[in-house]
Structure 1
Amino acid sequence: MYAIERSGPDIVWDSYSAGYRLFVFDGVENDTAFDLFECQMSEVEPSARALTGDEKLWSIALLVDDCNSNRRLVWLSGGDYNKAPADEREWRMRAEMQDRYLRHRARKKRTLTLPDGSRVARLLDCPRFGSAAIALTAPATELSLSRSTGAALRDWNHQYQLRHEFEPAPKEWIDQGYELRARVQEEAGATVEVRPDFDTWVQ
């Protein structure tokens, strides 16, 4: 996120009428959409919670019509769960949806699994313990990672520890983290979704 200060008026049009699309996901390639009108965002999110009870994954987008009357979406909360994340922002949007859903399951004392039955493994850097870690909603031994991958994770974390406390994480380190995520995902299999959560606070 970044901010730009505005010193003068630059708005030529505004409106209090907006349309939103609420997507409810039971899993990949299984969703339902609802269009909501004559409301504001402060009303849409409570409506999403009331409609789903947080029993399902959901996301919200602003409906925008371009000059050719083609309808477009601007994601406001979460994103398209049917689409594999392609960058840091899309991973964060996916994480927002998953964490909201899993928090609800935790409050209900239910098994911490996604709608398709898979678990979330969060690839993290852990400076407190001096080692890379994978936070899983089940014992980490279920991942059955190879020794070489475990060593690569430890080396990756060590590289991060060598930087100055206030120095941004190098791009090469972040890129390597995404490569390790794919490697861990391949070894973990389809019952686990490995998420690159190291990108949410290291910069």
Structure 2
Amino acid sequence: MVIFILVLLGAFLLLYFIALKQKRDINKQIRKPDTKIVSLSGLRESKYTGELFSGSTTTEDHLGKAAELKKNAKVAIKNKLFDEAWKLLQKQKMSYMKHANNAGFTAKQVLALDATVHVDLANILRMENKHTEALIHIVYWVANNYDNMTKTQEQKLTAYFNRSNLKLTSIEEAKIAISSLAENPEYVNAQELVSIWVAKEDSISKEP
């Protein structure tokens, strides 16, 4: 009887160790999921894209940076370092976008803030005698504040429009067309509008 019990106990222990070994073998075959640790700096950068965060607790002064970049761009323009000025203004736009994202701006508020930089971009193009290109930036700027257009905006629009030498479109017609952009005053729409005016000029000049 004792021998029978010992045999059963031995068989039980043998089965236990076999099962334990099989479990270990199975665990070795299972791949562990790949994990990536995102650095804190990476998380801070993701805030600015608007992809992961709707708000931000960052204390970084993006408006202050934008003001400094604008100041440096003005100096570069004065010294006719146009490429350098252009780069600085693009950085200013980025600082504005970061501020807008952190502050939870609406789409229209973002465009209105962004458009303010385009006055200086237009000025660079004007100084390079690229008047049609400069006009696009002014149209974008004005379209984003058309309902509350200032006297300065109206004066600049007229001046830049006249420099573009668009004889087949009057300034009055231009203003009406720009007002139609007020609901969706994106840069590409301003670009398309000016291209229509230019196309009218080209079609006449190509006539025999």
Q: Same fold (TM over 0.5)?
A: no
Q: Name whichever structure is richer in helix by fraction.
A: 2
TM-score computed with the length of structure 2 as normaliser? 0.30
Could you tell me the TM-score, scaled by structure 1's length?
A: 0.31
Q: Which has the larger radius of gyration?
A: 2
